[in-house]
Amino acid sequence: MTDAEHLVTVVCSDCRFEQTVDARKRESAGLVLERGRENGRKLTIERRDEDE
């Protein structure tokens, strides 16, 4: 797998917040989710679909 295949995007369903993180680094995605939820954002993780 390439690095691009490991990318996921954390998105908010209520706002335009979006951040791409490396799914292999679970703590990175987890921190983004935790911080966003503390700020009232409804965040989810989506698979990144890019052809590079």
CA atoms within 13 A on the CB side of 48: 18
Domain count, the chain: 1
Model confidence pLDDT, tens digit, residues 4-49: 677 878 888 788 788 888 777 767 777 888 888 888 888 877 775 5
| Structural domain of 19 | 3-47
The set of residues, in sequence order, having a beta carbon less than 8 Å from that of 24 and lying 6+ positions away, is: 6
Counting every residue written for the chain, the total comes to 52
Q: Does some domain include residue 52? A: no
Per-residue model confidence (pLDDT) at position 48:
58
Rg (CA), the chain: 11
What is the secondary structure of the chain as a DSSP string? Answer: --GGGGEEEEEESSSS-EEEEETT-HHHHHHHHHHHHHTT--EEEEE-----
Q: Does some domain include residue 34? A: yes
